[in-house]
Structure formats: C-alpha cells, structure tokens
Amino acid sequence: MKIGILTSGGDCPGLNAVIRGIVLKGTTSYDLEFVGIRDGWRGVVDADFFPLTRHEVKGLAKVGGTILGTSRTNPYEGDRGGAENIKATLAEHGIDGIVAIGGEGTLAAADRLAKDGVNVFGVPKTIDNDLGATDYSFGFDTAVNIATEAMDRLRTTGDSHQRCMVAEVMGRHVGWIALHAGMAAGAHVICIPEVPLSIDEITAQVTSAFERGRAPLVVVSEGFKLKGQEEAYSDKGLDAFNRPRLGGISEILAPEIERLTGIETRATVLGHIQRGGSPSGFDRVLATRLGLHTADAVVDGDWGSMVALRGTDIVRVPFADALGELHTVPLSRYEEAAALFG
Ligand code: F6P
C-alpha cells in the first residue's frame, strides 16, 4: 500500500517527529510505501510528490518545522481541486490514502474529502491546544517552555527597572499557552480569550504587585478581549482562511496600564518564536507515538478518523470529534491560577 503524508496549516514543533514515526513503523512493521506531499493540500492538487523512505526521516524527531513544507491551500479550490480530481490524481500515482497532519482547517478539509470518498486519516496539530478531541496536542508543550523561558527573562529586566512587563503569547481562541506559561513564570495577571477582563481589573492586580515591591508581569493571549471589546485585536489584515491575523493586543494594553497606574510599562509580542525550533522531549514522544499509531490505523483502513491523546493513551476518533467544540480553558482552571494574581 502506498500512502502520501502532508502537513498543512501553521507549522508546529513535532511535525517531523510524527512523519518519522509513521514512516519507521510503516516500513519496518508493515510493508507500507510512502510519498511526501509538498506544501499541504497544494501538493495533492498539483501532484507534487516525492519518495519518502527511512533515509529521508532519519534523525528527524528533534528537528523543528516540517520537511514537507506547509500551506493554507484549500483542496476544494482551483481547477484541479475537489474530491473527484484528487481521487484521479491519487489513482494516477498509485497512492491509496493520505495522512493529513494539521489543525482545525486541515481536519475540516480532511473530513469533507473523506465523506466524498477520498481515503484520508488525520493527525491533530496545534500549539494553541484548542482541538476538542485530544487532551494535549504536540507543539503546545514546546510553546509553553519557550514562552516560560522568555517570561523569566522579562521578569529579570522588569525587576531591574521596576517596570511592568506585558508578555503576549499565541492563542487565537483559547488561553492554554498563556495559562500554563503564566503560571510557570509567576505572572501577576493572566488575560485569556475565555475570560474578558476590564482594564481596571488588570491594573488592580498590577498595582497590588507593584506595591508589594514586585515588577508586575502581565501575560496576555493574542485572542484576549477586554470587557466590551467585540473582536480580538487585529491590525494586520486577513489570512488565507479569511481569519483576522491576530497579534498586538499587548501594545494596546501596555500604554493604558502605564497611563492608569503611573508604572512604566513595556510590551513584548513573542509571536512565531513560539512555533520555531526543536520540540521538547514531551512533544517528541507524543508526536512519535501519534505517528506510530497512525501507521497501525492506515493498515487497518480506518479512514475518516484521526489519532488523539486521551489521558496517556493514543486513541482513534472521528474527525467530527475534533471539529465540534473547541478545547477551551475551563473557568475552574482559570480561577485556580487567579488565586496567585496580584
Ligand atoms: O493556530 C495556531 C496559531 O499559532 C495561532 O495562535 C495564530 O493566530 C496563528 O497560528 C498564526 O498563524 P500564521 O501567522 O502563521 O498564519
């Protein structure tokens, strides 16, 4: 059986470890043959394939990015897109099925293609940790470690100058990175998309920390909205899925905090640094296990579903489970962290 592997959507530390896991198990335990598909669904539509052997995946568990490249191409768009064209392209190249590694947009496309008769299996990916079907997604732990390390650094310079430091992390719809990195770094207030706060609620914590002689650290998710704010802050236009490009809310909050408290305040947007570089040990193991189980699922012909982490087990779930509700931060988790604010 010949299987194509693609990575699609925003990249994430651990993508290469998944690819390696699939290819190693698929070629050693089973007699699978693999092709790499370049740049996500773009490579499917354009038939941009190359042989993917054990040789190509050697040493990949620790390597950031994706050797396959990625894009935000919609497989239903363009002259050569759509399920019927894709089935014909795959048949022409003797490809029996596709493993699609991606987030919400990728899995939605995979779900539609599977319903239209294309053999697709999924591996969930998101540093935001916002997919409903899986307890944790690979890339999240690495992002938290990077953000924590950055905040530790912000705290030492903040301490030297007695400044308030505002650290902005990724998290379009959910605040997992902010919650975990903020707790780890001892933030004095954490602002997440699930819990709108007023500027007065934020400055009350900042002032309280400052009056205790601390240099306040405010952690904010890019998708955070102040009370009364309808949309998350965006001044960079739309992405390929017509979603607003987020980033910059910290630059709005910092001068307001300074104006209302009189404390000199600086903003830092961590941005794509959180998605780059080597995956953490945890993410290497999780991504590799997802890859190994994917090889089993492909041999079983379990198309139309994806692997997921439940507790410590890797399970298979239908695409629909990942596409239903977002994996948001429960209020109880936020309140737990809030006991440490101020
Ligand atoms: O979905 C993951 C994510 O990292 C979001 O937090 C962020 O809004 C988005 O990707 C940014 O993606 P890009 O700038 O690569 O299009």
pLDDT for the residue numbered 279: 98
% pLDDT > 90, the chain: 96
Query: What CATH code is assigned to 2-138+279-324?
Result: 3.40.50.450
In this prediction, residues 330-336 reach a mean pLDDT of 98
pLDDT for the residue numbered 321: 85
Domain with CATH 3.40.50.460 in the chain: 141-275
Q: How confident is the model at residue 136 (pLDDT cuts 50, 70, 90)?
A: very high
Q: How confident is the model at residue 13 (pLDDT cuts 50, 70, 90)?
A: very high
Catalytic residue among 111, 128, 130, 141: 128
pLDDT for the residue numbered 241: 75
Taken as a whole, the chain contains a residue count of: 342
pLDDT for the residue numbered 242: 84
The string of DSSP letters for 163-214 reads -EEEEEE--SS--HHHHHHHHHHT-SEEE-TTS-B-HHHHHHHHHHHHHTT-
Phi, psi of 220 (to 5 degrees): -135, 135
User: What are the pLDDT digits (tens) for 227-248?
Assistant: 999 999 999 999 877 889 999 9
User: Is residue 27 within 8 Å of residue 53, measured between CB atoms?
Assistant: yes
Q: Three-state SS across 94-157? A: CCCEEEEEECHHHHHHHHHHHHCCCCEEEEECCCCCCCCCCCCCCCHHHHHHHHHHHHHHHHHH
Q: How confident is the model at residue 169 (pLDDT cuts 50, 70, 90)?
A: very high
pLDDT at 137 over 80: yes
pLDDT for the residue numbered 184: 98
User: Is residue 287 within 8 Å of residue 273, measured between CB atoms?
Assistant: no
In angstroms, the CA 332 to CA 338 distance is 10
Q: Which residue has the tokens 């293609």?
A: 113
Orientation angle between helical segments 83-92 and 104-115, nearest 10 degrees: 80
pLDDT at 152 over 80: yes
Distance 283 CA to ligand 1 centre (A): 18
Question: Is-catalytic flag, 128?
Answer: yes
In 3D space, the residue among 9, 98, 66, 40 whose CA is nearest the CA of residue 279 turns out to be 66
Q: Is 171 in the pocket of ligand 1 (CB under 6 A)?
A: yes
Mean pLDDT of the chain: 97
pLDDT for the residue numbered 289: 98
In angstroms, the CA 89 to CA 54 distance is 25
Distance 173 CA to ligand 1 centre (A): 11
pLDDT at 263 over 80: yes
Q: How confident is the model at residue 90 (pLDDT cuts 50, 70, 90)?
A: very high
User: Is residue 193 within 8 Å of residue 232, measured between CB atoms?
Assistant: yes
Q: How confident is the model at residue 284 (pLDDT cuts 50, 70, 90)?
A: very high
pTM reported for the whole predicted model: 0.96
User: Is residue 130 within 8 Å of residue 298, measured between CB atoms?
Assistant: no
Backbone torsion region of residue 63, taken as left when φ is above 0, otherwise alpha when ψ lies between -120 and 50, otherwise beta: beta
pLDDT for the residue numbered 261: 98
pLDDT for the residue numbered 322: 84
Token digits for 13?
């530390």
Three-state secondary-structure class, residue 313? strand
- Which amino acid is residue 273, in one-letter code? I
Q: Is 223 in the pocket of ligand 1 (CB under 6 A)?
A: no
Distance 208 CA to ligand 1 centre (A): 33
User: Is residue 200 within 8 Å of residue 208, measured between CB atoms?
Assistant: no
Orientation angle between helical segments 176-185 and 140-161, nearest 10 degrees: 50
In this prediction, residues 106-131 reach a mean pLDDT of 97
User: Is residue 179 within 8 Å of residue 147, measured between CB atoms?
Assistant: no
**Residue 319 vs residues 119, 135, 194, 283, 298: alpha-carbon distances, Å:** 13, 15, 24, 22, 15
Binding annotation:
10, 72-73, 103-106, 126-128, 163, 170-172, 222, 266, 272-275
In 3D space, the residue among 187, 172, 189, 273 whose CA is nearest the CA of residue 225 turns out to be 172
In 3D space, the residue among 188, 168, 165, 166 whose CA is nearest the CA of residue 178 turns out to be 168
In this prediction, residues 211-223 reach a mean pLDDT of 98
Phi, psi of 237 (to 5 degrees): 75, -160
CATH architecture for residues 141-275: 3-Layer(aba) Sandwich (3.40)
Q: How confident is the model at residue 294 (pLDDT cuts 50, 70, 90)?
A: very high
In angstroms, the CA 110 to CA 33 distance is 21
In this prediction, residues 248-253 reach a mean pLDDT of 98
DSSP 65: S
Q: Is 172 in the pocket of ligand 1 (CB under 6 A)?
A: yes
Domain with CATH 3.40.50.450 in the chain: 2-138+279-324
pLDDT for the residue numbered 339: 97
Ligand 1: which of 245, 269, 273 to mutate, judged by most atoms within 8 Å of the beta carbon? 245
Orientation angle between helical segments 249-261 and 199-211, nearest 10 degrees: 60
Q: Is 193 in the pocket of ligand 1 (CB under 6 A)?
A: no
pLDDT for the residue numbered 197: 98
Q: Is 126 in the pocket of ligand 1 (CB under 6 A)?
A: yes
In this prediction, residues 129-157 reach a mean pLDDT of 97
